[in-house]
């Protein structure tokens, strides 16, 4: 699949601001600064579609992007930054959780983790949450340019172990900097949309 058209459709903090459930959606989740917005820009080939920042907590709303007039990618705010000490459920304060729980046209959530680090406790909580709702199965390991080529399999193995991934779950190393890995993710998304 190639993305030839992409546009922001809605910015929401509550369900009344969501667009209608008339297109399938794929959401990006992960801790602040992991590279969710950068991944959206990489997939769409648009450098400035989503705002990216070196300091965590850039995306604070749920942003809906229409892709090829056919489906949506939803860029979620990151977790694990603002109120580190609070539990996941408190921290989400409803916004992300509400979206994940109520959105009938949500197909899958792509969970992003930084390839350099062992997934955090919150990453694991997030993934287990996704598993509970049947939204799991796709993990993107971001910032693959930050580790040497031969480190990649080792890091992926650790991600698989820590997140307790099953054999059918996939981990795709991606670099927004080097623009690598995204074709595989697009193929996976295409497969999901065709199911
Ligand atoms: N080296 C490298 N840096 C990256 C990559 N992807 C993202 N970054 C950098 O990581 C920082 C955070 O990227 P964002 O895309 O804003 O992260 P985010 O997950 O959307 O963050 P929040 O909106 O705060 O949740 C920025 O400085 C990006 O340039 C990558 O593949 N390689
Ligand atoms: Mg962001």
| Residue 1 domain flag | no
The radius of gyration of the chain's CA atoms, rounded to the nearest angstrom, is 15
Task: CATH number of the domain at 29, please.
Answer: 3.40.50.300
**177 CB less than 6 Å from ligand 1?**
yes
Q: What is the pLDDT of residues 22-56, one digit of tens each?
A: 999 999 999 989 999 999 999 999 999 999 988 77
Residue among 31, 35, 79, 122 to mutate when testing ligand 1 (max atoms within 8 A of CB):
35
Q: Is 42 in the pocket of ligand 1 (CB under 6 A)?
A: no
DSSP single-letter state for residue 135 = -
Query: Per the domain annotation, does 171 fall within a domain?
Result: yes
Can you give the pLDDT at residue 86?
55
Q: Is residue 68 part of a domain?
A: yes
Residue 21 lies in a domain: yes
The number of folded domains in the chain is 1
How many angstroms separate the CA atoms of 175 and 142, rounded?
6
Quick one: what percent of the chain has pLDDT higher than 70?
93
* Domain of 32, in residue numbers: 6-194
- Is residue 166 assigned to a domain? yes
Q: pLDDT digits over 123-138, tens only?
A: 999 999 999 999 999 9
Residues 6+ apart with CB under 8 A from 125: 88
Which residues line ion ligand 2, judged by CB < 5 Å? 36-37, 58-59
Cα angle at 108 between 102 and 114, to 5 degrees? Answer: 115
Q: Is the CB of 176 under 6 A from ligand 1?
A: yes
User: pLDDT tens-digit profile of 70-115?
Assistant: 999 999 988 876 544 455 445 555 788 899 999 999 999 999 999 9
φ/ψ of 176, rounded to 5, equals -75, -30
Note whether residue 32 is domain-resident. Answer: yes
Q: What number of residues does the chain have?
A: 195
Q: Would you call 105 exposed, middle or buried from its count of C-beta atoms within 10 A (0-12, 13-18, 19+)?
A: middle
């Amino acid at each position: 699949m190639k993305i030839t058209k992409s546009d922001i459709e809605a910015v929401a903090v509550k369900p009344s601001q969501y667009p209608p459930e008339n297109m399938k959606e794929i959401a990006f989740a992960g801790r602040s600064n992991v590279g969710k917005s950068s991944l959206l820009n990489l997939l769409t080939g648009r450098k400035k579609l989503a705002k990216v920042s070196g300091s965590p907590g850039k995306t604070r709303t749920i942003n809906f992007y229409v892709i090829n007039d056919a489906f949506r990618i939803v860029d979620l705010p990151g977790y694990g930054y603002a109120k580190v000490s609070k539990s996941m459920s408190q921290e989400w304060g409803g916004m992300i959780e509400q979206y994940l729980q109520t959105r009938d046209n949500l197909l899958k959530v792509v969970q992003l983790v930084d390839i350099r680090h062992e997934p955090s406790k919150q990453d694991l909580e997030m993934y287990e949450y996704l598993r509970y709702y049947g939204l799991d199965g796709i993990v993107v390991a971001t910032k693959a340019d930050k580790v040497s080529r031969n480190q990649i399999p080792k890091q992926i193995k650790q991600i698989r172990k820590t997140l307790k991934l099953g054999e059918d779950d996939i981990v795709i190393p991606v670099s927004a900097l080097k623009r690598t890995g995204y074709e595989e993710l697009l193929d996976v998304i295409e497969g999901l949309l065709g199911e």
